[in-house]
Amino acid sequence: MSGELSPIDKAKYVAAKTAADLVEDGMRVGLGTGSTAAWLVRCLGEMVREDGLKIRGVPTSTRTAELAREVGIEVISLDEARWLDLTIDGADEFDAELNLIKGGGGALLQEKIVATASDQMAVIADAAKEVSALGHFPLPVEVVPFGWQTTQTLIEELLISMDVMGRKSSLRMTGQRPFITDEGNYIIDLHLGRIGDPRQMALVLNQMPGVVENGLFIDICDKVIIGYGDGRCEMRDINEGTVSETRLDFVEDDNLFSDI
């Protein structure tokens, strides 16, 4: 496997494999969305099939649900689970305080609902996702389709009074049509460059009529697990104030992800 993976994919795999070890028998686990989270789902599926791990997963998107079922994880709804022991997800950016930007895959609403319904949230990421200040990655804002252009205009007017570098916004598209979330909404991406006060930004955006949710995850993440292409993995726990490092040795004939 290691000979076929790029350094960035190795980093994602290392982070996912390390995060999978946080999952214990009997847990109700939130399963994130995105390329790094997909590695986690496959790692957990292997543990279910080969080690007899018994967990119930609550996916944050339809595509994660499909993958989880495919690899043998029991899938339930959040209403069935009611509360989760742990959510593991990726991030588009994270800062030193483990605040996040998420939503590059378009599942930010379900991701935030699931993460806040969990005892703990762990983020898996490669080192490139760490930033000194959030905002280089476009901030997704999920909006209802009705009057979305008016909502976009109001958001741009709001940004004039905010501590940001840029104020451009764009409707996320799929080909010639607007991208549609699992909840039937649109996403407006904000190209801000830098967000001076992410907490204020998150609060103000969510007060605007037409806005459903934004991609700033503030005070939600408990751990970040950072993978590196050489097999190293660093885990930071913001609650314990600890940093630990491990190393994963790649197995050449490992075909766990041969279909990716």
12 annotated to bind ligand: no
DSSP letters for 132-170 = SSTTSSPEEEEE-STTHHHHHHHHHHHHTTSSBS--EEE
Judge whether 17 is annotated as a binding position: no
What are residue 180's phi and psi, to 5 degrees?
-115, 125
- Residue 156 annotated among the catalytic residues of the structure: no
Confirm whether residue 181 is marked as ligand binding: no
Q: Annotated binding residue at 153?
A: no
User: Does residue 85 have a known ligand-binding role?
Assistant: no
Q: Among positive and negative, which fits the CA dihedral 208, 161, 138, 7?
A: negative
Q: Catalytic one among 46, 93, 111, 213?
A: 111
- Greatest CA span in the chain, whole angstroms? 55
- Alpha-carbon span 158 to 205, nearest angstrom: 8
Sign of the four-CA dihedral 196, 200, 203, 209 = negative
Inter-helix orientation angle 148-159/198-206, to 10°: 150
Please name the residue that has the structure tokens 């080969």.
50
Task: Tell whether 116 is in a known binding site.
Answer: no
Q: Which residues are bridge partners to 195 per DSSP?
A: 164
62 known member of a binding site: no
Is 78 within 8 Å of 216 (Cβ atoms)? no
Does the annotation flag 103 for ligand binding? Answer: yes
Residue 259 assigned ligand-binding role? no
Which segments are annotated as binding site for substrate? 33-36, 89-92, 102-105, 129
Catalytic positions, written as ranges: 111
Which segments are annotated as binding site? 33-36, 89-92, 102-105, 129
